[in-house]
C-alpha cells in the first residue's frame, strides 16, 4: 500500500470512530451505520473494474467479486467494530453527541500519531548484499576488524 492508501485508510477509520461517538448507543438503531461499508465497497469495485478492463474474462469478474466481498468484510468490518467500540467507550464520558464524537476522533488520532511516531523512530534493518552476505564495512563477528586492512 502506498502512503496515500494508508492516509485514506486512517482517515476512514477516524471518521468511523467519530460517527460511532456521535451516535453513541443508538449506533445500531437505523440503517446509517451500514453506510460505513460503502467506501470499501466502492474502492474494491473500482479495483475489480480496472482489473476486468485489463483482462476481460469471466475469471477476472469472479476474482473481482471475491475481492470486493473480502474488502467489504475485512475493512468495513473493522470500521464497524471501531465505531461500536467508540460508541460504547464515549457513552460514559459525555451525554452530548458532539463531545462524544470529538473524544472518539481524538482517541483514534492519538493512536494513529503514536503508531507513526514509533515507526519514524525505529532503527532500519540492514539488508544483506545480493549474494546474501553482509556489506563489507560491517564485521562478520563482534570484535573483528573489517576486511581490507581497516
| Residue 140 maps to a domain | no
**pLDDT value for 81:** 92
pLDDT digits (tens, 9 = 90+) for 25-72: 888 888 888 888 888 888 888 888 888 888 777 777 888 888 888 888
* pLDDT bucket at 126, cuts 50 / 70 / 90: low
| Residue 74 maps to a domain | yes
pLDDT above 80: residue 144: no
Domain limits for position 74: 11-25+33-110
- Cα distance between residue 40 and residue 44, in whole Å: 6
pLDDT above 60: residue 150: no
Cα angle: 24, vertex 18, 47; to 5 degrees:
125
| Residue 56 maps to a domain | yes
* Least trusted range by pLDDT, from 10-14, 89-93, 127-131: 127-131
Amino acid at each position: 500500500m502506498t502512503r496515500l492508501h494508508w492516509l485514506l485508510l486512517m482517515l476512514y477509520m477516524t471518521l468511523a470512530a467519530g460517527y460511532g461517538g456521535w451516535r453513541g448507543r443508538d449506533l445500531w438503531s437505523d440503517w446509517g451505520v451500514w453506510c460505513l461499508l460503502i467506501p470499501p465497497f466502492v474502492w474494491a469495485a473500482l479495483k475489480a473494474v480496472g482489473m476486468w478492463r485489463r483482462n476481460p474474462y469471466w475469471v477476472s469478474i469472479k476474482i473481482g467479486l471475491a475481492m470486493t466481498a473480502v474488502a467489504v468484510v475485512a475493512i468495513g468490518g473493522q470500521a464497524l467494530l471501531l465505531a461500536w467500540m467508540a460508541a460504547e467507550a464515549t457513552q460514559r464520558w459525555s451525554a452530548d453527541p458532539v463531545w462524544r464524537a470529538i473524544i472518539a476522533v481524538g482517541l483514534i488520532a492519538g493512536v494513529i500519531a503514536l503508531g507513526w511516531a514509533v515507526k519514524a523512530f525505529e532503527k532500519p534493518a540492514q539488508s544483506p548484499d545480493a549474494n546474501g552476505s553482509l556489506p563489507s564495512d560491517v564485521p562478520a563477528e563482534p570484535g573483528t576488524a573489517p576486511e581490507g586492512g581497516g
